[in-house]
């Protein structure tokens, strides 16, 4: 597990040393594939994506594998065993988008293990972009996905029982690697600090964006949504343009944090457009964060929003409202590294 100090030594300043090529200036260098995911648990996601990219596969297949890997990880924050809504139901949201503006999304999906793959099926086999609730589940079952039993992880069960004592909806600021998050993250590695030491849920979402060897970009986002949300609530994560956006001329952006705040600004789409105007990935993410903060600077102190961005030349950037957001990068040049993001409130 990289310590906080080690994280800092791997600051974003280290990114240029990834040796990523540039396509700008009219010269095309051989592209190096790269995959970037939100949070420390991005290591799990990137481990799913990397074999596809390394073998010369398509970014779309890579990001789907990232989603599957994290949805398979019971100690992590997303998927069937994650935090329920206030009525005790785990409802999942996911979306996926390729390099040709094809996109698919499922929202309020129950008892299906891989929402990211159902989203891809929606994209590839229907004339629609988004399916919700019982209809999304029916579509999944018709397409060979199994109906899974209802089962919360022990942590989720405990957190929910605790929450029921007051039943007060108070989303926490999603952070990473703080002394207040479980240090060992047990089990399968140094990831998935889904809970604070007192059992309060932390973050619940995984987003991945990737550039493949052919220069194509894709992205996905998968989540159980904010813990103890109103039954039926859907956040930014499955909304194309809010939680995720991909434009193969420019790059890709995925968001995490308080979804309502991201939706208001169409966060991912806005960041892609800012890159189109010439901003670096980090500057684009920063401007989205600044717009969100500007709307209500006092209230912005109480929630987290974070974005990661990847442009067509393989440059990566991130920015968050609150400190302790991290993101994970895997490329051909270096082993997987987790980076601390810069933030508005230091």
Q: How far is the CB of 344 from ligand SD4 (least distance, A)?
A: 17
For ligand SD4, the closer CB: 65 or 205:
205
Q: How far is the CB of 234 from ligand SD4 (least distance, A)?
A: 7
What is residue 98's DSSP assignment? -
Q: In this structure, are strands 251-257 and 316-322 parallel, antiparallel, or unpaired? A: unpaired
- Alpha-carbon separation of residue 307 from 36, 158, 217 (angstroms): 11, 30, 16
- Are 195 and 162 a contacting pair, CB within 8 Å? no
Can residue 324 be called a binding residue for ligand SD4 (CB under 6 A)?
Answer: no
Can residue 256 be called a binding residue for ligand SD4 (CB under 6 A)?
Answer: yes
For ligand SD4, the closer CB: 267 or 317:
267
Q: How far is the CB of 223 from ligand SD4 (least distance, A)?
A: 5
Can residue 208 be called a binding residue for ligand SD4 (CB under 6 A)?
Answer: no
Can residue 223 be called a binding residue for ligand SD4 (CB under 6 A)?
Answer: yes
| Count of residues touching ligand SD4 (by CB under 6 A) | 14
d(CA 66, CA 20): 21
DSSP string of 62-85, one letter each residue: HHHHHHHHHHT-TTSSSSTTS---
Q: In this structure, are strands 326-331 and 316-322 parallel, antiparallel, or unpaired? A: unpaired
Q: How far is the CB of 260 from ligand SD4 (least distance, A)?
A: 7
Question: Which residue, 120, 322, 129, is CA-closest to 242?
Answer: 129
Q: In this structure, are strands 130-132 and 103-109 parallel, antiparallel, or unpaired? A: parallel
For ligand SD4, the closer CB: 20 or 82:
82
Torsion from C-alpha of 267, 100, 335, 275, nearest 10 degrees: -40
Binding to ligand SD4 in span 109-138, by CB under 6 A: none
Can residue 42 be called a binding residue for ligand SD4 (CB under 6 A)?
Answer: no
For ligand SD4, the closer CB: 137 or 174:
174
d(CA 244, CA 271): 10
- Are 59 and 49 a contacting pair, CB within 8 Å? no
> Which of 42, 57, 219, 225 is close enough to bind ligand SD4 by CB under 6 A?
225
Binding mask 233-252 for ligand SD4 (x = CB under 6 A): --xxx---------------
Catalytic residues: 205
Q: How far is the CB of 174 from ligand SD4 (least distance, A)?
A: 4
CA angle 47, 94, 71 (to 5 degrees): 40
Binding to ligand SD4 in span 70-109, by CB under 6 A: none
For ligand SD4, the closer CB: 53 or 234:
234
Q: Where does this chain bind ligand SD4 (CB under 6 A)?
A: 174, 203-205, 223, 225-226, 235-237, 256-259
């Amino acid at each position: 597990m990289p310590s906080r100090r080690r994280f800092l030594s791997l600051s974003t300043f280290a990114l240029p040393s990834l040796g990523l090529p540039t396509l700008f200036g009219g010269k095309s260098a051989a592209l190096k594939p790269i995959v970037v995911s939100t949070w420390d648990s991005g290591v799990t996601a990137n481990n799913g994506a990397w074999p596809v990219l390394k073998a010369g596969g398509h970014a779309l297949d890579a990001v789907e594998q990232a989603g599957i890997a994290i949805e398979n990880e019971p100690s992590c924050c997303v998927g069937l065993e994650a935090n329920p809504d206030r009525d005790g139901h785990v409802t999942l949201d996911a979306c996926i988008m390729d390099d040709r503006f094809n996109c698919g999304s499922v929202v309020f999906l129950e008892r299906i293990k891989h929402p990211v793959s159902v989203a891809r099926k929606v994209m590839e086999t229907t004339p629609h972009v988004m399916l919700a609730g019982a209809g999304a589940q029916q579509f999944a079952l018709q397409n060979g996905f199994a109906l899974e039993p209802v089962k919360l992880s022990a942590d989720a069960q405990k957190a929910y029982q605790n929450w029921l004592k007051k039943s007060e909806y108070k989303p926490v600021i999603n952070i990473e690697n703080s002394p207040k998050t479980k240090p060992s993250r047990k089990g399968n590695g140094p990831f998935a600090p889904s809970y604070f030491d007192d059992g309060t849920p932390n973050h619940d979402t995984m987003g991945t964006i990737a550039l493949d060897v052919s220069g194509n970009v894709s992205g996905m986002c998968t989540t159980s949504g904010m813990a103890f949300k109103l039954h039926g609530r859907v956040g930014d994560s499955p909304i194309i343009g809010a939680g995720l956006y991909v434009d193969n001329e420019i790059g890709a952006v995925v968001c995490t944090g308080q979804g309502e705040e991201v939706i208001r600004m169409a966060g991912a789409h806005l960041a892609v457009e800012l890159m189109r105007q010439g901003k670096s990935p980090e500057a684009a993410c920063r401007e989205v964060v600044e717009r969100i903060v500007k709307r209500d600077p006092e209230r912005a102190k109480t929630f987290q929003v974070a974005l990661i961005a990847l442009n067509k030349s393989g440059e990566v950037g991130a920015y968050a409202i609150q400190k302790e957001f991290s993101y994970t990068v895997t490329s051909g040049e270096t082993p997987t590294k987790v980076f601390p993001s810069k933030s508005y409130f230091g």
